[in-house]
Amino acid sequence: MSVKTTNEIDIVKVAQSKIASVDFDNLAFGATFTDHMFVCDFREGKWHKPQIKPYEPFLLDPSAKVFHYGQAIFEGMKAYKDEAGDVWLFRPDQNLDRLNKSAVRMAMPEIPEDIFMSGLHQLIDLEREWVKFGLGNTLYIRPFMIAIGSGVVAAPSTQFRFMIILSPAKAYYSGEVKVLIAEHYSRAANGGIGAAKAAGNYSAQFYPTKLANEKGFQQVIWTDDATHTKLEEAGTMNVFFRINDTLLTAPTSERILDGVTRKSLIALAKREGIKVEERSVLVSELIEGMKDGSLKEIFGAGTAAVVNPIVGFSYQDTYYELPKMADSFALQLKDKLTKIQYKLAEDTFGWTVKI
Tens digits of residue pLDDT in 275-316: 999 999 999 999 999 999 999 999 999 998 889 999 999 999
Q: How many CB atoms lie within 10 A of CB 26?
A: 8
Q: In this predicted structure, what is the pLDDT of residue 174?
A: 62
Q: What is the pTM of this model?
A: 0.94
Q: How many CB atoms lie within 10 A of CB 338?
A: 18
Q: Are 231 and 239 in contact (CB under 8 A)?
A: yes
Q: Which fold has domain 178-341?
A: D-amino Acid Aminotransferase; Chain A, domain 2 (3.20.10)
Length of the chain: 355
Alpha-carbon distance 121 to 175, whole Å? 34
Q: In this predicted structure, what is the pLDDT of residue 69?
A: 97
User: Among 181, 179, 199, 211, which residue's Cα sits nearest to residue 105?
Assistant: 199
Q: In this predicted structure, what is the pLDDT of residue 41?
A: 98
The model's pLDDT over 178-206, given as tens digits with 9 standing for 90+, comes to 999 999 999 999 999 999 999 999 999 99
The model's pLDDT over 226-284, given as tens digits with 9 standing for 90+, comes to 999 999 998 889 999 999 999 999 999 999 999 999 999 999 999 999 999 999 999 99
| Amino acid of residue 336 | K
Q: In this predicted structure, what is the pLDDT of residue 58?
A: 97
The domain 10-170 is classified under which CATH number: 3.30.470.10, 3.40.50.720, 3.40.50.300, 3.50.50.60?
Answer: 3.30.470.10
pLDDT grade for 173, boundaries at 50, 70 and 90:
low
DSSP per residue over 100-123, as a string? HHHHHHTT-PPPPHHHHHHHHHHH
The model's pLDDT over 93-150, given as tens digits with 9 standing for 90+, comes to 999 999 999 999 999 999 999 999 999 999 999 999 999 999 889 999 999 999 999 9
Alpha helices in 54-169 (DSSP H): 65-69, 92-105, 113-126
Buried (b) or exposed (e) across 245-271, using 16+ Cβ within 10 A?
Answer: eebbbbebeebbbbbbbbbbbbebbee
User: Among 212, 215, 231, which residue's Cα sits nearest to residue 223?
Assistant: 231
* Residue 6 predicted with pLDDT over 80: no
Q: What is the H or E stretch that residue 199 is in?
A: helix 199-214
Q: In this predicted structure, what is the pLDDT of residue 5?
A: 63
Q: In this predicted structure, what is the pLDDT of residue 325?
A: 86
What are the boundaries of each domain within the chain?
Answer: 10-170, 178-341
Q: How many CB atoms lie within 10 A of CB 24?
A: 14
Q: What are 166's strand-pairing partners?
A: 141
Q: In this predicted structure, what is the pLDDT of residue 327?
A: 84
Average pLDDT over residues 14-38: 95
Q: How many CB atoms lie within 10 A of CB 45?
A: 8
Q: What is the dihedral of CA 53, 136, 187, 228, to 10 degrees?
A: 170
Alpha-carbon distance 49 to 115, whole Å? 9
Q: How many CB atoms lie within 10 A of CB 101?
A: 16
Alpha carbons within 13 A on the beta-carbon side of 164: 28
Average pLDDT over residues 69-81: 97
Q: In this predicted structure, what is the pLDDT of residue 4?
A: 63
